[in-house]
Amino acid sequence: MCPKSVSNSISGVLRCGKYAFMPNYYAYCGPDKNKTLFEYCSHNYYEPILNQILGEFEVMHPYLKLIAHNNNFKDEFEPEVVEAYWLGNNFTENVEIKNLYRHFTEDKNLKSKIKKEVVSKVLGYIPDLAKPHHNFHVMNIWLRAGKLNIKHTLKSIDECRISWGIVKKINSSKIVVDFQPLEFLNDQLVFGKNIDREVMTQFNDQGFVKDLKIGDIVTIHWGWVCEKISEQQLKNLQKYTVLSLNIFNKQAKEFLYA
C-alpha cells in the first residue's frame, strides 16, 4: 500500500480515523475494523471504505453530521468539522444549544442510550458551555448513557478524553511526554500535577506520527499518539476540555453519589 495524494475532505477522513482507531482497537466503539483503520491511516492512504467504517461509529458520526449541518458543510468529514469535534475550533462554537438538544433526543442511535430528561438536566447546568466536542461527551454524556462495555472510572475518563503531551523522550515505539492527568479533589474533577507519561506511537513499526522531535505537542487517545498539533490547536483543546470539566463539576455529586 502506497501513500495517495489526498484531497481536503479525504484528509479529514484519515484524520478522523486516527482518533477513532484506539477505542476501536479496544472494542469500545465502532465496528470491528481496527486493523483496516490502522492500515489505511498509518499509510495515509484513502479508499471509500473508510467513510463507511467511520459512519458506523454510533456516537462520533452523529456529532460530525451535527457540526457540519450547523456550519453549512456538505461533508461531515471536512477537516474543519473533524477538528471541531476532536480538538475544538470556531465551528464547535456555532452549534446552538437547541440543536445540541435535538442531536441527543432525535438521533436514532443516541436517543436509545440516553433519556430526554437526562439530556435536559446535563445541558441545563451551564448551557452556554455545552458544545459538540468529544471531551464534553466523555465527561458529561457518556457517564449517563445506557449499557456500555467499559466501566466508568477516573482512569477511563482520563483515557477516553483527547489529552495532550509535550514530547520529552523518544524511543522506538513509545515516547515519554509531559502530561497533566485528571484527578478528583474535593469531589471536583481537576487537572493534577504534571507527570512523565509513556505513550505508544507504533504497532509493528507503523504509526500515525512521523519525525517526532523533543518539544513537539501531540494528542493522545487511550494511550496512543494520534497527531502533532500546533500551539493554537492546543489552546483550543485546553479550552474545550476546561468547559467540559466545568459542566461535569456542576453535577459531580450527582455522578459520584447517585
- Kindly state the cell numbers that stand for 257: 453519589
CA neighbor of 160 nearest in space, from 186, 174, 141 = 141
pLDDT reported for residue 100: 78
Q: In the chain, where are the structural domains located?
A: 8-144, 162-257
What is the residue whose three cell numbers read 462554537? Answer: 93
At residue 123, the 3 state secondary structure works out as helix
Q: Which residue's C-alpha cell is 445540541?
A: 100
Indicate the SS3 state at residue 23.
Answer: helix
Which of the residues in the chain have pLDDT under 50? 1-6, 145-149, 257-258
SS3 85: helix
- Using the structure block, give the residue that is written with the C-alpha cell 457517564: 143
pLDDT reported for residue 48: 94
- Give the global pTM: 0.89
Residue 177 is predicted with a pLDDT of 98
pLDDT on residue 41: 97
* Integer angstrom CA distances of residue 68 from 16, 19, 82, 251: 14, 18, 9, 29
pLDDT given at position 120: 66
- Which bin fits 225, alpha (ψ -120 to 50), beta or left (φ > 0)? beta
Q: Cα separations (Å) of 66 from 33, 132, 210?
A: 24, 8, 32
Cβ atoms of 225 and 175 closer than 8 Å: yes
Res 126: pLDDT: 59
CATH number of 162-257: 2.30.30.140
| Distance between CA atoms of residues 205 and 209, nearest Å | 11
**Cell of residue 27, nine digits:** 472494542
